Amino acid sequence: MRVAACFGAGLDIVEPCAFPLTDKKIRKAAMDYGAAIQPVRHASWHTYRQSAEGASGRLVLFTTRAATDLWEFSFQPGDRLLFGRESAGVPDDVHDAADCRVRIPIRAGMRSLNVTVSAGIALAEASRQLRATTSD
């Protein structure tokens, strides 16, 4: 919630979530950033795909299985950034539904970044690129 709020991005949470939304840290984040962001919860992947949020723009999945590095990817207005579980990523059907698959390059031998760090890096790069395109 904090990353989305600070970048002015929307936040959709698709159940089942990788963390309990009643967790103490989640409640604290909601109190600190609740006025700046109103997350939209979806009961399942299917309900998300049927929603207005899920039906617009390109679905850009961040995954360690991607061939395209973040630094080579061109964001477009309306892109929806998707991040899976830290432990398992996303199911194959969700992976297959993505319009684009992007990976954040990290040092060899390292497994992955956590989801909050990944989201921050991705939103920062998307914001940088889109700000550059809208200022021309």
Q: Is 73 left (phi over 0), alpha (psi -120 to 50) or beta?
A: beta
Do the bridges between strand 68-69 and strand 100-103 make them parallel or antiparallel, or are there none, so unpaired? parallel
Report the CATH number that the domain containing residue 81 is assigned in CATH: 3.40.1280.10
8-27 pLDDT, tens digit per residue, is 898 898 988 766 666 566 66
54-80 pLDDT, tens digit per residue, is 888 999 999 999 999 999 999 999 999
Quote the pLDDT of residue 62. 96
Quote the pLDDT of residue 74. 97
Mean pLDDT of 26-55: 80
**What is the extent of the structural domain holding 83?**
2-134
Counting the structural domains of the chain, the total is 1
CB atoms closer than 10 angstroms to residue 38: 10
Quote the pLDDT of residue 86. 80
Report which residue type is found at 42: H
76-96 pLDDT, tens digit per residue, is 999 999 998 887 888 899 999
